[in-house]
Amino acid sequence: MTKLRVWWIPQMPMTPFYVPVESVKDGVLIMDTLAKYDEFELKNKVKPDYSNTGGLELFENNEWCDWYDEETGDDDPTEYINNYKQD
């Protein structure tokens, strides 16, 4: 079983928060949703600016590391979903 999590920093500099996910597709959905929420807050003047960042991590060899696909070598989860996953 692969363990995955999204890490997200809504405003730099901050410490990230984490969201466990079941699949790369779920991770991409969470990251897209968080990005859209940050953009919504900016457009609606909830915060004056933002500098966000995030990503997908994989638990491997007893530590969290940046996600990548072993078959394709792709390390961008959004590109991976758009190019390789058809579900």
Strands 53-60 and 17-21: unpaired
- In angstroms, the CA 60 to CA 33 distance is 26
- In angstroms, the CA 20 to CA 12 distance is 21
pTM, two decimals, is 0.87
Instruction: Read off the pLDDT of residues 46-81 as tens digits, 9 standing for 90 and up.
Output: 988 879 999 999 999 999 999 999 888 999 999 999
Q: How far is CA 10 from the centre of its chain?
A: 12
**Concatenated DSSP letters for 46-83?**
SSS----EEEEEEEETTEEEE---TTT----HHHHHHH
**Could you state, in order of their start, the residue ranges of all structural domains in the chain?**
4-83
